[in-house]
Structure 1
Amino acid sequence: MMAILPGATIGILGGGQLGRMLALAAAPLGYRVHVFAPEGEAVASEVAAAETRAGYSDEAALARFAADCDVITYEFENVPSATVAFLEALKPVRPGHAALDVAQDRLSEKQFVEALGGRTAPYRTVETLAELEAGLAELGAPAILKTRRFGYDGKGQARIGSTAEAAEAFASVGGKGLILEGFVRFDAEFSILVARCPRGREVHYPACLNVHEDGILSRTTIPAEGIDPGHLDAATALVVRIADALDYVGVLACEFFATENGPVFNEMAPRVHNSGHWTIEGAETSQFEQHVRAICGLPLGPVGLTAPLVEMRNLLGDSSAEWGRILADPTAHLHLYGKRDAVPGRKMGHVTRLLPQP
């Protein structure tokens, strides 16, 4: 495969902060970026050379977009798989639609991972209230009821503390196309980021120890202290198998629960990931530059830490107003995403700190 050389145009489907940071990473390598996003706020477009505002089903707009691009990627996993499949007939799309087909459906995702030897939370599919009640009888409570598609950052899910809460939970998440997950007792949550190039070479970052609040990532620290190194190695090996099975190109992130019996797979994100934002300052090559390198067929970069301890915190809602205090901290690196409305729970930015002691 011929490399896509600097000077070429990278197309990005999606206009959010991940696309923004991809564009910022592409520029120093000499690439031009063209963002395709529906109407609405698209902060990635502010740092791109070109933008197309159209719906993901607008084939005429997609064709014009593809004609201007040399390679195409996406910055979030809810881009319709059909959109990616349409574009693949016109230009290289990396990763391809196969990764979306798996990641967009929680049932497909779990079955795919289990077939590769991974362990997931116990689960049952749910289409009716009777099936939910039967699933709770088998898996017990507490449990989590989730939509099979389009859930993220705690959206599209309901925690069930007892069978008496079943009907309310069932109604709250739409009442169809659901999956019930049994409760997993875990000591910590962590993620593994792997980058894979078109020829199959892979590199992986150190495991990231994550803390969530209300279903949204709050803090990531590296190294992932307190987790059995053997369990981290097992999780990394599984992510590599996932990437190989999908013939994946780009950065792939997978989240896990750390249990006394080993890692339990939670979910995958076929894109750069929030838990990897620390890599901008905290790793020798950021996940965003690494993704650009991978999709363009360039050599992958080194992934070592630049400090003994790296911490990343998300700035949610009006916490982004703390920018003055953060800038006064010599250990802090501030990233604001340019979003206008600081509503509660919205990711407005992040701050990374490089610290001397783990």
Structure 2
Amino acid sequence: MLGGGQLGRFFVIAAHEMGYKVVVLDPDRNSPAGKIAEVHLCAAYDDKAALDEMARSCAAVTTEFENVPAATLEYLSKSCQVHPSASAVAIAQNRISEKNFLRDHGFPHAPYAVIRSAEDVPAANSGLYPGILKVSRFGYDGKGQARVASPEEAREAFLTFNGEACVLEMRLKLDYEVSVVLARDAAGNTKAFPTAENAHRNGILDVSIVPARGSAEVRETAQAFARGVAEKLGYVGVLGVEFFVCNDSLYVNEMAPRPHNSGHYTIDACVTGQFEQQVRALCGLPLGDPHQHSAAVMVNLLGDVWPEGGEPAWAILFAQTDLKLHLYGKHEARAGRKMGHFTVIGEDVRDVLAAAMDIRKRIGIEDH
């Protein structure tokens, strides 16, 4: 496993339950995944000695986040199975490549322009304002983004990003957001989880509701687009695809070449969770059944709810008998840092949502 955060930790847990041993490469000595893996290679992702050790000891390699250098995946692929491929990750980790991929394959997306210099900023009559300027690399959870209403604001934001290549996207009039997490194996077989409805706070996923409450057409179209993206990428592994919904029309926002935060509900509400699917796809096993057996609402727990020198009111969560708490084993709580999540499951999504939002409020998470 390249990367040792919470997604890697869940992968290690799933792999252990299925009888596999795991090596984690992550430069953080406090890596949540590294703490429970058989081996933690505490080194940079381009450390050749560490990569050679991983290549010698591992039959297959995957990643838990999109910013592992594509060159690292390409290097390892000469010695062992690597999924997803370096080429697929290279597209997903660069917003310019990602937007061009969507355009070239006919997937609906917000109008955009590539900004490599201040001179590339479009004019006021371009139709891209108001817009969002996003750095092409290393932006996540709302980082590396700025809302801009004019060319002047776009140029100013571009300079604050130190001249990094960016994408300027037109801001769509958003009704809500959805996502689809799916698994695809090397033979092209695909298993998609139900479409999730997502709400964000400060650019970070806050709540996922599954099944999404929009129309069946929106849910099914999102599934079809996600399958199409995976096919055109030649993707093997677990993929998350996020969408904007505007007047019942879907626009692909971005894709994540890994399990997705909005897929955490699958651990408790589906026959096969997204992390078991990741293990299955990587190891050449048949993909599991993604059927959702319970309605689910997932709530992210950020470091903001940790009182200084203390812990959140866990008793409130444990008193809800249909709630599942997952903490990520991170050594320090910080504002905006994902520390865990809880999922409430049940028969009716309305009842589950009401219970989850009540608990969310009682532990001190403010409303949007």
TM-score by length of 2: 0.90
Aligned to 2:99: 110
Query: Displacement, 1:13?
Result: 0.3
How far apart in 2 are the matches of 1:257 and 1:218? 16
2:201 matched to which residue of 1? 213
Contact kept, 8 Å, 2:133 with 2:154, in 1: the verdict is no
Which residue number in structure 1 is paired with residue 233 of structure 2?
Answer: 246
Give the structure 2 partner of residue 282 of structure 1: 269
Q: Which amino acid aligns with 1:311?
A: V
Instruction: Confirm or deny: 8 A CA contact 1:272 1:291 kept in the other structure.
Output: yes
Give the match for residue 235 of structure 1. Answer: 222
Q: Deviations over 1:161-182 (max 9, x none)?
A: 3455334322222223011000
What is the distance in 2 between the residues matched to 1:278 and 1:47?
Answer: 22
Poorly superposed stretches of 4+, deviation over 4 Å: none
Change (3 A) 1:42 1:297: same
Change beyond 3 A, Cα 1:135–1:346: farther
- 2:39 corresponds in structure 1 to 50
How far is 1:35 from its partner? 0.5
Taking every aligned residue pair, what percent have the same amino acid on both sides?
43
Q: Report whether the alignment pairs 1:73 with 2:62.
A: yes
Give, in whole Å, the separation in 1 of the partners of 2:227 and 2:56.
Answer: 33
Per-residue CA distance 1:265-323 (angstroms, 9 max, x = gap): 0000000010000111011111000111111111111111121x200000011325233
Q: 1:15 to 1:136 in 2, by over 3 A?
A: farther
- Asked if the contact 1:124/1:135 (under 8 Å) is kept, the reply is no
The answer for the alignment partner of 2:187 in structure 1 is 199
Residues 154-173 of structure 1 correspond to what in structure 2 (within 5 A)?
A: 154-173=142-161
Which residue identity lines up with residue 226 of structure 2 in the other structure? V
Matched residue, 2:296 = 310
Give the one of 22, 33, 37 matched to 2:11. 22
Task: Tell me if structure 2 keeps the 8 A contact 1:116–1:241.
Answer: no
How far apart, CA to CA, are the structure 2 residues paired with 1:136 and 1:345? 34
Relative distance call for 1:246 and 1:167 in structure 2 (3 A) is closer
1:199-238 per-position Cα deviation (integer Å, ceiling 9, x unaligned): 1111101000000111100000101012x32233222222
Q: Which moved more, 1:42-51 or 1:313-322?
A: 313-322
Q: Sort the Cα spacing of 1:136 and 1:341 in 2 relative to 1 into closer, same or farther, 3 A.
A: farther
Corresponding position: 1:145 with 2:133: yes
Query: Is it true that 1:324 corresponds to 2:315 in the alignment?
Result: yes
Deviation larger for 121-130 or 263-272: 121-130
Find the residue that maps to 1:79 and give its secondary structure.
Answer: coil
How far apart are the structure 2 equivalents of 1:61 and 1:135?
A: 48
Counterparts of 1:91 and 1:135 in 2: how far apart (Å)?
49
Match of 1:297 among 284, 288, 293: 284
Task: Answer whether contact 2:198 2:206 (CA < 8 A) is retained.
Answer: yes
Q: Distance in 2 between matches of 1:23 and 1:329?
A: 27
Deviations 1:89-115 (A, max 9, x none): 010001110111111111111111222
Q: Secondary structure at the match of 1:252?
A: strand
1:159 is matched by which residue type in structure 2? R
Q: What are the residue-to-residue correspondences of 1:341-356 with 2, within 5 Å?
A: 341-356=332-347
TM-align CA RMSD: 1.5
Is 1:336 the counterpart of 2:327? The answer is: yes
Q: Which amino acid aligns with 1:165?
A: E
1:31 aligns with 2:20: yes
Three-state SS of the structure 2 residue aligned to 1:318 is: helix
- Name which of structure 1's ranges 241-250 and 293-302 shifts more when overlaid on structure 2: 241-250
- Equivalent position of 1:181 in the other structure: 169
Query: What is the CA–CA distance in structure 2 between the aligned matches of 1:30 and 1:136, rounded to whole Å?
Result: 58
Aligned to 1:123: 112
Q: Which runs of 5+ in 2 are unaligned?
A: 307-311, 350-368
Contact 2:133–2:146 at 8 Å: present in 1 too? yes
Query: C-alpha distance in 2, partners of 1:148/1:289?
Result: 31
Q: What is residue 3 of structure 1 aligned with on the other side?
A: none
- 1:50 CA displacement: 1.1
Give the match's secondary structure for 1:289.
helix
Change (3 A) 1:357 1:293: same
Residue type of the alignment partner of 2:225: L
Q: Does 2:258 align with 1:271?
A: yes
Q: Secondary structure at the match of 2:33?
A: helix
Aligned partner of 1:9 in structure 2 is none
